[in-house]
Amino acid sequence: MRFPAAGVALLELDRPHRRNALDRTLLDGLLAALRELDGDSTVRALVLTGRGGAFCAGGDLDTIGDLGNEAPQDARERMTREFSIAELLLEFHAPTVAVVDGAAVGAGMALALACDLRIGSDGAVFASPFIKMALVPDFGVSWLLARAVGPARATELALSGRKVAAEEAVRIGLLDVVVADPLVQALGRAEALAAAPPEAARATKRLIAAAAAGGGFAEAVDREITEQIQAVRSPEFGQRWAEWSRAVRGR
């Protein structure tokens, strides 16, 4: 965990020898780090990446092989705890940016898709390979993938388990953009996001998440009214409005 700019937290998955595959130690560390950062109001943007030319190769293969020996209740308790990482990212109080360089597979795909923005390299690769192991998507992949690319394409990707390279990933919505140095681009984007009013940014995330989860237009407008009534009464509104108004009017 590092803080490369004011208000920006950089969280790096650090098992490069295993392409940052998630074992119990890394999962516990990631959960603890996200909880700590989510409770820190000075964090205005979060960048998530992996070291060593991979984002995250999913669950560690040595761990997956033992899952069938786990008692169902123990499995439910463990998975509920571990999979809450994706929900923490999805509901993080500040904007989040995933830097996808190399593999984002299985649970790694979930981590990337749970972030607000995704910036990749031309070596980025996504896959949901659960079906190849006679498993079903987990870590929130079924919901996150359907939200990102739509239910039909999500079904095709989940049932085939095929790899999606960077160019296709941008075309179908798994990535926002591919650049030569995604970490530099992400840190720059995060620094700009960190300058946004934090309460308005948090409310904007809530509105878009609620809209993506379903419901009609009238419900979305009603939520916007509720949030806007609060926003215009916030301490930040007066100052930000005055600055924006002067800039627009050229004085």
For position 11, which CATH number holds?
3.90.226.10
162 and 94 within one domain = yes
167 and 51 within one domain = yes
Per the listing, tokens 């998530």 go with 48
How high is the pLDDT of residue 145?
Answer: 96
Q: Kindly tell me if the per-residue pLDDT of 242 is higher than 90.
A: no
Number of Cα atoms under 13 Å in the Cβ half of residue 24: 8
Percent of the chain's residues with pLDDT above 70: 99
Task: Order the strands of the 164-165 sheet from edge to edge.
Answer: 103-105, 125-127, 164-165
61-65, 74-78, 155-159: the lowest-pLDDT one: 61-65
Which of the listed residues 163, 194, 225 is the one where a domain comes to its end? 194
Q: Kindly tell me if the per-residue pLDDT of 251 is higher than 70.
A: no
187 and 202 within one domain = no
Provide CB contacts within 8 A for 105, sequence distance 6+: 56, 57, 58, 125, 126, 127, 128, 129
Averaged pLDDT for residues 104-124: 97
102 and 29 within one domain = yes
222 and 151 within one domain = no
Boundaries of domain holding 87: 2-194
**Interior CA angle at 248 toward 244 and 251, to 5°?**
95
208 and 123 within one domain = no
176 and 116 within one domain = yes
Cα 149 to chain center, whole Å?
Answer: 15
Averaged pLDDT for residues 215-237: 92
Size of the chain in residues: 251
pLDDT in tens, 149-193: 999 999 999 999 999 999 999 999 999 999 999 999 999 999 999
3-class SS of residue 210: helix
Q: Kindly tell me if the per-residue pLDDT of 64 is higher than 80.
A: no
User: Taking a C-beta distance cutoff of 8 angstroms, is the pair 161, 127 a contact?
Assistant: yes
For the chain, the average pLDDT equals: 94
205 and 176 within one domain = no
CA-wise closest residue to 173 among 181, 164, 160, 182: 164
202 and 190 within one domain = no
Domain total in the chain = 2
62 and 150 within one domain = yes
Strands 125-127 and 164-165 come out as antiparallel
123 and 47 within one domain = yes
Helices (H), 12-98: 24-38, 61-64, 72-90
Task: Taking the CA atoms of 194, 112, 53 and 66 in sequence, report the sign of the dihedral they define.
Answer: positive
Q: Which residue has the higher pLDDT, 103 or 59?
A: 103
Task: Quote the tokens at residue 176.
Answer: 């926002």
Task: Quote the tokens at residue 106.
Answer: 């299985």
3-class SS of residue 108: helix
Tell which phi-psi region holds residue 8, choosing left (phi > 0), alpha (psi between -120 and 50) or beta.
Answer: beta
How high is the pLDDT of residue 97?
Answer: 98
Residues 153, 115: Cα–Cα separation, whole Å: 20
112 and 211 within one domain = no
For residue 93, report the phi and psi dihedrals to the nearest 5 degrees: -70, -20
**For 7-28, b where at least 16 C-beta lie within 10 A, e where not — what string?**
bbbbbbbebeebbbbbeeebbe
Q: Kindly tell me if the per-residue pLDDT of 82 is higher than 90.
A: yes
Task: Quote the tokens at residue 90.
Answer: 């999805």
